[in-house]
Structure 1
Amino acid sequence: MSSLENYSPVLLALFATLFTWFMTALGAFMVFFTKEINREFLDTSLGFTAGIMLAASFWSLLSPAIEMSEHLGIFGLILVGIGFLSGGLFLSGLDKIIPHLHRGLSYNEAEGIKTTWHKNRLMLLAVTLHNIPEGLAVGVLFGALSFEFSNSALISAIALTIGMGIQNFPEGLAVSFPLRGEGLSRKKSFYYGQLSAVVEPIFGVIGALMVTFFTQLLPFSLSFAAGAMVFVVIEEIIPECYIHGNIDKATIAAIFGFTLMMILDVALG
């Protein structure tokens, strides 16, 4: 692990988020083998995704932010709280501005600024919005290595990357297969499926750069990413995996996802 100390945290963040993008692309690639995917399986997978993201929000981001700001007393907690709220409000703001359509909803239920864009493009933008905080979270955690490089901090960042990669696989399925079901070719369904995660390397680098140049913002940045991820889980993932009635299976899967990410972060980090 110590050999990685020679690499820039920004470069490590890029490599990590390229991996999370690759896992999305791998899930989307499954569209070449079959046209349909069982809805119950898909909802269960999305529940699993929600659990991983919730656990990562606390164990990988919010808890370290609180520990880093303990020396500030109540002001540190306020700083972390403001960061958490800001992350959620930031995503909420993007949600109201950028045209998008959550999967499973009709075209006239599109959110954001009104547009004549095709339904497929609006669905793609919804998932793209979802992937912004994931890339930001990984980038911020790797960027923290510029503040204090240690094997435990590096392993924690790697654990988050693994967790995000695991949950990105079903996300790739959740984008490409509905598009295939609506008549798009396998090639286009795969293309749009992997394209939804391209923002992860972009925001991973942005997050790492932000922390590298402004290390004093680290607790705020960590809690900001946590708030953004929690917003995505509550706003998009949970409603989608419940809308088809697979509530129990999706909930149990979320608990398993939370447990897996908790073990990854605590045991490895």
Structure 2
Amino acid sequence: MQEVLLGSVLSALSTGLGALPILFLSQVTHKWRDVLLAFTAGIMMAASTMSLIPEAIASGGLIQLTIGLFFGVLVLTLLEKNIPHIDLGHNNKGIEVDQKAALIVAAITLHNIPEGLSVGVSYASSVSETGNLIAFAIGLQNAPEGFLVALFLIQQKISKLRAFIIATLTGAIEIVSAVIGFSLTSFVTFLVPYGLAFAAGAMLFIIYKELIPESHGDGNERFATYSFIVGLLFMVILLQLF
């Protein structure tokens, strides 16, 4: 449990780490944000397809993989449909702080729940390093997310320090959901392959529905594609090393 707490805390705090530059930067180009988002997508793609999915098959089978994968996609789909979503990377409209800013913070916080579950069930895997790798991948995904949340809040005339604190707190829910995910799959062992597949499905949904489209929204498709490949190779190297 101690390792789960440490991994989930570090993964969650990556949201704040990503938001940290907002205290010192006045503005960031779309190109840099798109490259960062695509790199994160590559990291998560390798983690889900080369670690989570093979382990789900090894510990369960194709049936468990299919059920868990689609359940992960279903949960993210329901969140997407029922939680107000604002395009952080490409939003140029003036938005009222008291309404929309609160909605986007709530949306990001709730979207972090499946990510925390992914970290928790990964630590319950029989392969000891899986949890650390998935926590690392989710942490990298959280960093640009935290940055974009903080940037959005600053654009709504919220102070830099307050925006940083709020962005950091949006990741805190992952610690709770990680503990829940680990507890369920540890004490009910037959859930492990379903949990691993659920994590893979959730990550694949985030990659294709959120990260890749946002990284291709400002004419930086080529650079984003290169960054995606580099991110994927980076995670493959980590998987081979550890």
Aligned to 1:258: 232
Q: Which amino acid aligns with 2:52?
A: L
Could you tell which deviates more after superposition, 42-51 or 21-30? Answer: 21-30
Q: Which amino acid aligns with 2:24?
A: F
Aligned to 1:163: 137
Q: 1:130–1:240: structure 2 CA closer, same or farther, 3 Å change rule?
A: farther
How far apart are residue 17 of structure 1 and its match?
A: 0.9
**Partners of 1:78 and 1:245 in 2: how far apart?**
40
How far apart are residue 167 of structure 1 and its match?
A: 3.5
Aligned to 2:154: 180
Greater radius of gyration (CA): 1
- Conserved 8 A contact 2:146-2:167: yes
Alignment match of 1:62 (pick from 53, 72, 92): 53
Alpha-carbon displacement from aligned partner over 1:125-166 (angstroms, at most 9, x marks no partner): 34334423322121111123xxx5xxxx22232222233333
**Partners of 1:107 and 1:212 in 2: how far apart?**
46
The percent identity for this pair of structures is: 37
**Partners of 2:86 and 2:173 in 1: how far apart?**
18
Aligned to 1:16: 7
Q: Which amino acid aligns with 2:108?
A: V
Alpha-carbon displacement from aligned partner over 1:201-226 (angstroms, at most 9, x marks no partner): 12111110110111011111100111
Q: Which amino acid aligns with 2:204?
A: V
- Conserved 8 A contact 2:118-2:181: yes
Aligned to 1:241: 215
How far apart are residue 106 of structure 1 and its match?
A: 6.9
Aligned to 1:118: 99
Q: 1:94–1:107: structure 2 CA closer, same or farther, 3 Å change rule?
A: farther
Q: Which amino acid aligns with 1:55?
A: A
Partner secondary structure for residue 124 of structure 2: helix
Alpha-carbon displacement from aligned partner over 1:166-197 (angstroms, at most 9, x marks no partner): 34322222221232233221022102221221
1:187-206 pair list within 5 angstroms: 187-206=161-180
**Partners of 1:107 and 1:206 in 2: how far apart?**
38
Structure 1 spans left out of the alignment, 5+ residues: 1-9, 70-75, 109-115
**Partners of 1:199 and 1:58 in 2: how far apart?**
25
**Aligned length in residues:** 239
Report the TM-score when normalising by structure 1.
Answer: 0.81
Q: 1:122–1:36: structure 2 CA closer, same or farther, 3 Å change rule?
A: same
Report the TM-score when normalising by structure 2.
Answer: 0.90
Structure 2 spans left out of the alignment, 5+ residues: none
